Amino acid sequence: MDGRALLMHATLHDAAAPDGYLLDAQHAKHDIRGKYEIKSVLGRGSYATARVAVEKGTGRHFACKTICKKGLSEDEQRRVRREVSVMYHLAGHPNVIKLEDAFEDDTYVHLVMELCSGGEMVQRILNKGAYTERGAAAIMRSILEAVAYAHDMGCMHRDIKIDNCMLLDASPDAPVKLVDWGFSSFVQPGKKLHKLCGTIAYLAPEVVAGSYDERADVWSCGVVLYAMLAGRLPFNGSTQEEVLNIIKSDTKGVPDMSGSAWAAVSEAAKSAVRALMTRDPRRRPSAREALRLDWIRECGAAGDNPIDIEPEVLHRMKDFAGMAKLKRHAAMVIAKQLPADQVLGLKLLFESMDRDGGGAVTARGLRDALGRRGCPKVARAELEDLLAHADLHGTARLDFAEFVAAALHHSVLADESYVRLAFDHFDRDRDGRISAAELAAALAEDGEAAGAAEAEGMLAEADEDGDGRVDYKEFKHMMRRGGCTDAAAGAGGPVLALGRAGSEGYYDLY
């Protein structure tokens, strides 16, 4: 085992799935009924059922996707594991459905997530007809922001379609949530994927050809935009094979924007559709570039809010560098206890930045990795300063544990179970308060020497009553500063596609 493999092995929490189980041990053998009351059925599919789940004690409503493990093929098992890993990895974006909990018993896997009471976006189109341009642009901006975020984090969705765009509530300007990450995949810059998957009517030409990257998601976004503006899909046929042949054709596989449905649509909107559905993926904009298209930027802007073009992982690292030192050390404690499925995406990002295999991210490696993902250039001196502030060991380099700690979303740091885990790590005598001596001892155990004065200074960052110690309430306040908790969702329609027919009767390729 080489140095980097040893580092990975030592850092990740040992939570391998027990025999007969799909998920890590953290999720296995837990009874969902201990935390949630399972209510009415929202929808059924070929391999899963969605029900309302009510959290005991809070009354918050969620959607629970229950998957029967019996009879799942190896490919379907991988799809379940991948869905859980990717949703943990992408936690925190307002337009990505949030995985709240995962449970597994001998028979079922239960995925508890946000409940989108507004239902599927396709139903709004069927009920009310095509969107206005302003409404379509606002929705498309939200979808592209979710897709750009996923791409920045090293993930492809691979099944973007109207059916997988859910509305959080029934209001006219309800936020859109991108759901069903079962076909998603972690991707490396410059590497191609080859598996044919997704929903036929939304497939990019290069997916049909068998060699594609993240820009295939952008084509699918273009199909969604076309449908929002025209009230129908761009390519139709009497069979799946006929649709695939149309998509493969350089002449027929071009979106037709003639006819009465397009008469009142602006040229700027049509231009946005053409850009997203550019047949040559090399000339097609990335998701982040698509956010800068005039029609998306001007017509879809939420007020005067600028589009954030800073890569998510860099944004998180900057937040981490600005945290109180005690909070950064607490994040390290949490990072070392996270199960493998929750940090798989960060592991792949780390490896893309650790180009020489030395087991650390340097300013050069970070800058090169951002450049390979098409992100705006950042001065090396700025990145060196960032790493100097984020690094807890004074090396201006981040090892894997430090990188995970720096890249965690604030929702993980604010999670009650992880806050308690970190607090207990520092509260050595379990008296409910952290003293300077206890903090110094815990830091020494973690490999960092800290004198009494330094430990006292770190505690002062969270000590609200000035008694020289930090109790759990004060510690929790510190951990939750700088983030926000999610509002309770209402009740409503199913959150996930459940193996049913997609738009126009074309079934998912599964």
Cβ atoms of residues 400 and 350 within 8 Å? yes
Q: What is the chain's percent helix, strand, coil content, to nearest 5?
A: 45, 15, 45
Q: 476 a known binding residue?
A: no
Per the CB < 8 A criterion, the answer to whether 217 and 287 are in contact is: yes
478 Cβ contact partners less than 8 Å away, ≥ 6 residues apart: 324, 326, 327, 461, 462, 470
At residue 78, φ and ψ (nearest 5 deg) are -60, -35
Active-site hit among 24, 159, 213, 341: 159
Q: Which contiguous run of DSSP H or E holds residue 471?
A: strand 470-471
Beta bridge pairs of residue 434 = 470
Sign of CA dihedral 207, 296, 132, 302: positive
CB 498 within 8 A of CB 49: yes
* Residue 455, C-beta contacts closer than 8 angstroms, at least 6 positions apart: 436, 437, 439, 440, 443
What's the CA gap between 49 and 498, in Å, rounded? 7
Pair 68, 47: CB distance under 8 Å: yes
Q: Which residues contact 242 (CB under 8 A, 6 or more apart)?
A: none
For 429, phi then psi, to 5°, come to -95, 5
Cα–Cα distance, 159 to 156 (Å, whole number): 9
* Coil, helix or strand at residue 458: helix
Residue labelled with tokens 């009924």: 33
How far are the Cα atoms of 338, 394, 439 from residue 385, in angstroms, in the given order?
Answer: 28, 12, 27
In the residue annotation, 368 being an active-site residue is answered as no
CA gap 320, 361 in Å, rounded: 15
How far apart CA 455 and CA 436 sit, in angstroms, is 5
Surface-to-core class of residue 211, CB atoms within 10 Å of its CB (0-12 exposed, 13-18 middle, 19+ buried): exposed
What letters, b where the CB count within 10 A reaches 16 and e where it falls short, cover 411-436? bbbbbeebbeebbebbbeeeeebbbb
Yes or no: say if 508 and 499 are a contact pair by the CB < 8 Å rule.
yes
DSSP-derived letter for residue 377 is P
Cα(297)–Cα(417) distance, integer angstroms: 40
- Alpha-carbon distance of 430 to 491, in angstroms, equals 40
Which residues are annotated binding-site positions for ATP?
A: 69
Q: Any idea which residues carry the catalytic annotation? A: 159
Write out the binding residues. 69
